[in-house]
Amino acid sequence: MKPNGTSLNVKANGIELDEMIGDEHISTSIDTPMRADAFELSDDEKILKIEHHFSEIMKTMGLDLEDDSLSGTPRRVAKMYVQEVFSGLNPANKPRVALFENKYQYNEMLLEKNITVHSFCEHHFVPIIGVAQVAYIANGKVVGLSKINRLVQYFAKRPQVQERLTVQIAEELKKVLDTEDVAVVIDARHMCVSLRGIEDQSSSTITSSYHGKFKTQSVKDEFLKYAQ
């Protein structure tokens, strides 16, 4: 980064590094990159700042913010960013997950299938849309089914790279359930692929994270059969 805050366009083999990272969907961290002062501003303060800056973006593109259709757009976008699509950045929004005794003594695989994934690519801030297959084998405790969906949504509601999202969901479930026996597969379409760049309308990306018994081929095969 240059001292004035603008991008430093380092080149590798003649290609600007920032473009190369974005087009190749490279993730730089397992954790979502966050500044130390990320939560010093309140949500209302963040909305005001984003509203101002998004107004400037629209003006720079030549849009007339005096038009009735556009005048409220900067605030709508700001509220959407803070309160909805990026609400997973704030740990205060992390869902509380209660565990229950496994009174049924159910010790087989539990699969929550086709969980909706709506996220945003951190390289271009356009949508990632797909489904997640999440499974675990209980280690004495079980979790309410809706909590699995809520955890997926929590980690999806932030700027993401699909590989990181997959790992974050798996690691959180391992911690919550106190078991290594967790599997996560995500199949998603990236609008940064279909709307720009290569403009491929039909491809999707599949990522997986297998742990514990799910690394065993027979268990993995069972999971994939159910997840079809």
Each residue of 204-221: pLDDT tens digit? 999 999 999 999 999 999
pLDDT at 163 over 50: yes
Note the pLDDT of residue 198: 83
CA-to-CA dists, residue 192 to 35, 77, 163, 195, angstroms: 25, 19, 15, 6
For residue 7, pLDDT over 60 is answered with no
Q: Which of 85, 115, 131 is the last residue of a domain?
A: 85
What angle is formed at CA 166 by the lines to CA 10 and CA 40, rounded to 5 degrees? 65
Percent of the chain at pLDDT > 70 equals: 88
Q: Based on the domain organization, do 53 and 138 belong to the same domain?
A: no
Rounded CA separation 210/212 (Å): 7
Q: For residue 46, is it within any domain?
A: yes
Q: How confident is the model at residue 161 (pLDDT cuts 50, 70, 90)?
A: very high
Which CATH number does the domain housing residue 68 bear? 1.10.286.10
**Total domains in the fold of the chain:** 2
Q: Which residues are catalytic?
A: 121-124, 162, 190, 192
Q: What range defines the domain where residue 132 resides?
A: 99-227
Last residue of a domain, one of 85, 108, 128: 85
Whether 129 is covered by a domain: the verdict is yes
pLDDT, one tens digit per residue, over 40-62 is 999 999 999 999 999 999 999 99
Last residue of a domain, one of 17, 50, 85: 85
Domain presence at residue 4: no
What CA–CA distances, in Å, run from 161 to 14, 53, 190?
25, 24, 10
pLDDT score, position 3: 43
Say what the pLDDT of residue 26 is: 61
C-alpha–C-alpha distance, residues 183 and 137, integer Å:
9
CATH number of residue 179's parent domain? 3.30.1130.10
pLDDT of residue 98: 87
Looking at the structure, tell me whether residues 147 and 73 fall in a common domain.
Answer: no
